[in-house]
Amino acid sequence: MYRNLFTAWYCLGVLVLCLAAFLILLPFIGAYQARAGFGLLGLLGLLPIFWFTVFRKEKSDERDVSFLQRSLLIGFSNGFATIFVLNALLAFVYQIRFGFDSIPMSVFWLPSTGGLAVGVLAFSVMLLLFYFKGEDADKEG
């Protein structure tokens, strides 16, 4: 249980850190260069190190695995849906407004970064909701 809760809070913390870095850099260097703050999403790659070192001896029961699987499914579904919607919206805007047949590379980062952020946010929030809802049900019964 602690491994999954740590994972959810760690992912939320990384998202807040990325948004804070972007907003802090925005007035000083502009939006185009401030998007480098989203490079901090790479900190999500450290998660397996915590799983296999800090939480190595922790056992997971079927409830923990079920919560993790359902949260991952919801997170990935929301993330890929966001990528699809943003790509379609950008293609439509650039076709209608500017007459381009493709999305310029200067804004191509937006759908993938937005989809990743929405997916991680949905995953983390759902994992926390599953645990807190499950703890309330355990206290009642």
> What digits encode the pLDDT tens for the residues 82-134?
999 999 999 898 888 888 888 888 788 888 888 999 999 999 999 999 988 86
Q: At what angle do helices 2-29 and 62-93 cross, to 10 degrees?
A: 30
Confidence at residue 74, expressed as pLDDT on a 0 to 100 scale: 93
Between CA 135 and CA 64 the distance in angstroms is 12
Q: Is the pTM of this model over 0.95?
A: no
For residue 94, count CB atoms less than 10 angstroms from its CB and return exposed for 0-12, middle for 13-18, buried for 19 or more: middle
Q: Which residues are within 8 A (CB) of 10 and not within 5 positions of it... i.e. 6 or more apart?
A: 47, 50
pLDDT digits (tens, 9 = 90+) for 26-50: 989 988 888 888 888 888 888 888 8
DSSP annotation of 108:
T
